[in-house]
Amino acid sequence: MNSKSETLVAASVKPKFWKLSQGKEEFDYADIIESISKSLVYVHNDTGAKGRSAKSQAQDFIDAPIGEYFYLTYGNSGVYLLGQFSGPANIFSKYKEGWLDRKFEFIAPSITNKRYSGEQKWWAPNDNSTFTSVPEEELMLFEKEILDPYFGLNLKEFGV
């Protein structure tokens, strides 16, 4: 394959976005700041499936490919950052027993501290979910509700 066709293939792959919530019951404010400073995000190994999914949110966290994007929330108290997974899931996290962690690259900080008040979706900050993907058919809504107001970004910047 020549470099031109490789570039076209790479450009045709749509990025995937995830909501990742580190909740108030498990993390205090200092834990969130430390998580960000270490470029690590966490999901508990026992985090179950959402709805009728056969796959747990913990397994989704493990299986999400390096290079996929996520936005980090602290419950519905704030959207903190947009990140990109830079390594595989570590099942031997030093955080606490039973936790998984993943390294990430910091892409952008949230530009507002306003509480999310948009549509309730599994991938939205106001839903009780831990690690949930944004369906491809809802990317435009994701852009309107999360990417633009919280990060000043649009999907075109991600090749969509």
pLDDT higher than 60, residue 10: no
> Does residue 76 sit in helix, strand or coil?
coil
How are beta strands 17-21 and 40-44 bridged, if at all?
Answer: unpaired
Maximum separation of any 2 CA atoms in the chain, in Å: 51
Cα 121 versus chain centre, distance: 14
Task: Output the pLDDT for position 53.
Answer: 87
Give the model confidence (pLDDT) of 13-24 as tens digits. 789 999 999 988
Q: What is the pTM of this model?
A: 0.89
Residue with tokens 């490789």: 6
Task: Output the pLDDT for position 76.
Answer: 78
Task: Output the pLDDT for position 13.
Answer: 73
What domains can be seen in the chain, in order of their start residue? 15-155 (3.10.590.10)
According to DSSP, the residues that pair with 104 across neighbouring strands are 85
Q: Give me 108's structure tokens.
A: 């952008």
How are beta strands 99-109 and 40-44 bridged, if at all?
Answer: antiparallel
Give the model confidence (pLDDT) of 32-81 as tens digits. 999 999 999 999 999 999 888 889 999 999 999 999 999 999 987 889 99
